[in-house]
């Protein structure tokens, strides 16, 4: 004889209800599913559905040292399949975006340079924003190769960096500490500003 079927919408609603999950788990002999747990899962799903862009820190979130954190590949894959935009940010300037792509790849993750915002990239973006190249001057890099590689991409000449790692600077009395604090504040503000503008442009076009 014919089999009566419930409307698809009703099936979908019942399949996500706490009572349905409880009944299935009980019938299958699985541990009891608590109503509160189901409610939290429903809230998490609703939150994910309402968000278009996810921004992840790297150190301690995606990896720890040279080890990938458990569950990360599955989470990123789930978000990409759901059509979400993903970006990765880090204040570690030891690598350029190209260098970070290499690290992601070595951990089995497929990430593009456009999805990575490092402080080395932010430094180069700031130099480009103020048209530093047009001054004909050079940048003295107090940092690692990541900054140098990003400066090379925009054609800004530089000195210092790892090659001057053994050099020592004698600090004298004056306003140098104040200047350092002011430049650091400007640098951080620019870093956040660049990230915001870039993500806004790439999520509205």
Give the number of other Cβ atoms within 10 Å of residue 10's Cβ: 10
Asked if residue 48 lies in contact with residue 82, where contact means CB atoms within 8 angstroms, the answer is yes
Place of tokens 């300037």: 93
Tell me how far apart the alpha carbons of residues 141 and 162 are, in angstroms, rounded to a whole number: 8
119: enclosing H helix or E strand:
helix 119-129
52 is catalytic: yes
Residues in the chain: 205
Angstrom distance (rounded) from CA 189 to CA 139: 20
In angstroms, the Cα distances linking 3 to 6, 23, 24 are 10, 22, 21
Question: Which is catalytic among the residues 49, 52, 59, 179?
Answer: 52
Annotated catalytic sites, by residue?
52
């Amino acid at each position: 004889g014919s089999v009566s079927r419930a409307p698809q919408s009703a099936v979908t609603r019942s399949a996500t209800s706490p009572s349905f999950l409880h009944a299935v788990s009980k019938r299958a002999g699985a541990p009891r599913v608590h109503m509160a747990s189901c409610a939290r899962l429903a809230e998490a799903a609703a939150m994910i559905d309402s968000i278009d862009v996810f921004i992840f820190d790297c150190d301690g979130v995606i990896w720890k040292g040279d080890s990938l954190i458990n569950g990360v590949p599955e989470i990123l894959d789930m978000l990409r399949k759901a059509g979400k935009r993903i970006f990765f940010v880090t204040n570690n300037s030891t690598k350029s975006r190209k260098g970070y792509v290499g690290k992601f790849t070595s951990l089995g993750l497929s990430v593009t340079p456009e999805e990575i915002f490092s402080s080395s990239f932010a430094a180069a973006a700031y130099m480009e924003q103020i048209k530093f190249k047009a001054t004909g001057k050079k940048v003295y890099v107090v940092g690692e190769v990541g900054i140098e590689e990003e400066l090379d991409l925009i054609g800004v000449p530089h000195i210092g960096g790892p090659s001057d790692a053994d050099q020592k600077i004698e600090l004298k009395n004056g306003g140098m500490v104040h200047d350092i604090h002011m430049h650091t504040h400007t640098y951080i503000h620019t870093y956040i500003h660049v990230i915001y503008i870039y993500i806004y442009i790439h999520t509205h076009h």
